[in-house]
Structure 1
Amino acid sequence: MSKASLSKLGDAAFERTDKVSAELLALTYGSFVRQLLIDYEDAEEVNAQLAKMGYNIGVRLVDDFLAKSNAPPCASFADTADIVAKVAFKMFLGVPALVGSWSSDRRTFSLVFTDNPLAEFTELPEKWGGVWYSNVLCGVIKGALEMVQMEVDARFVRCTLRGEDLNEIRVTLLQVLQEKPPVDDE
């Protein structure tokens, strides 16, 4: 499927999805991150908690994505990257992402996006410079792709809250998971 077709598919999925006010989402998410900063007082632990929360969201969100997106099956990791960028980001965040910076072995790519609805109205104090504010997105990607048999690592490498001109998440395919029959409990 062409990238233009995927963009149209993402637009259509976004239109069919129930909406929440972007401002409400940003403010609610900001309050949640602030509470994590108060509770853990450590940037790495906050990053880990955001990723863990995102993973749990991704595990559940993939069912909604598969039911409502009408996305075609992915034949390769490159197809998966395009679906995540053009359809999933648009469907759930209202913004598209671009896929680029593929590694030579085609197992790592970047998702690049300039608009981040989670980071609206947000300034990150210097004290918390080690926090990847939108790290929940990395967890969502990891959880969702695991549900479709791909173990990945997803990490922010650039963020507009850190003074960068865009947001970039690096996604690396660690392994394709194999379904195993359940163990008999005899």
Structure 2
Amino acid sequence: MSRPAHRRPEYHKINKDLFVLTYGALVAQLCKDYEKDEDVNQYLDKMGYGIGTRLIEDFLARSCVGRCHSYSEITDIIAQVAFKMYLGITPSVICNNSSRNEFSLILDKNPLVEFVEELPAGRSSLCYCNLLCGIIRGALEMVHLAADVTFLQDRLKGDSVTEIGITFLKKRDEKKYRWKK
């Protein structure tokens, strides 16, 4: 039976708990496969990067966001639209410098660690949610924005908040975005 032409395809969502548990199993397996935390962190970042490069198309199609004219606009869209759309949370955004190219996303709640109480023994430098950094970096690169994305603080490591730092690496050419008269 075919679908009527006027109906949009439905996006199937998986249960959030299933996703979080599956992610936890992935990280546990990576900890077994790799001795060094740095190798696990790098693998999660690389995996996230691959997801981000593909996820950006879905995000742009579903969110209907327009062109951004500043790094603060971009960071606000990441926090208020993308995180809300895919993780159901809205992090706070803080600008970290006067040149307005360094930002922090403060996550009050991190759904990926919902069932995690602490890092595995002997894994103090493990960045459990490094997948998120790779996703953000990959998505930004697909829209031609080079950025360094890292975890600055993590509640799993005893910090008071979970904070992701985003540093845009190129200065925006403002002349390029001005309308011609």
Q: What TM-score range do you get, normalising by the shorter chain?
A: 0.7 to 0.9
| Paired residue secondary structure (2:24) | helix
Q: Secondary structure at the match of 1:71?
A: coil
Q: By how many angstroms is 1:144 displaced?
A: 0.1
Match of 1:182 in 2: none
- Of 40, 46, 61, 1:52 maps to 46
Supply the distance in 2 between the matched residues of 1:159 and 1:18 (Cα, whole angstroms).
31
Task: Provide the C-alpha distance between the structure 1 equivalents of 2:109 and 2:142, rounded to a whole number of angstroms.
Answer: 27
Instruction: Report what 2:129 is aligned to.
Output: 134
SS at match of 2:105: strand
Distance 1:78 1:63, change over 3 A: same
- Structure 2: unaligned runs, 5 residues or longer: 1-9, 174-181
- Distance apart, 1:107 and its partner CA: 1.0
Q: What are the Cα deviations for residues 21-75 of structure 1, in whole angstroms up to 9, with x where unaligned? A: 1211111000000111111111011100000000000000000000001222211
Of the structure 1 ranges 136-145 and 159-168, higher mean CA displacement relative to structure 2 is found in: 159-168
Among 24, 31, 34, the alignment partner of 1:37 is 31
Aligned residue number for residue 106 of structure 2:
112
What pairs with 1:58-77 in structure 2 (closer than 5 Å)? Answer: 58-77=52-71
Secondary structure, in 3 states, of the residue corresponding to 1:154?
A: strand
Out of 86, 94, 98, the residue aligned to residue 88 of structure 2 is 94
Decide whether the 8 Å contact of 1:150 with 1:176 is kept in 2: no
The TM-score, its normalising length taken from structure 1, stands at 0.83
- Tell whether 2:18 aligns with 1:24: yes
% identical equivalent positions: 46
Q: Does 1:165 align with 2:147?
A: no
Aligned mates of 2:139, 2:51 — CA distance in 1: 8
The residue type equivalent to 2:170 in the other structure is Q
User: Conserved in 2, the CA contact under 8 Å of 1:153 and 1:172?
Assistant: yes
Q: Which runs of 5+ in 1 are unaligned?
A: 1-15, 179-186
- Name 1:85's counterpart in structure 2: 79
Count of equivalent residues: 163
Higher-Rg structure is: 2
The AA in structure 2 aligned to 1:149 is: H
Q: Which has the higher helix share?
A: 1
TM-score by length of structure 2 reads 0.85
- Corresponding residue for residue 7 of structure 2: none
- CA distance, structure 2, for counterparts of residue 46 and residue 26 of structure 1: 18
The CA distance in 2 between the partners of 1:27 and 1:71, in whole Å, is 31
SS in 2 for 1:106: coil
Q: CA RMSD in A?
A: 1.7
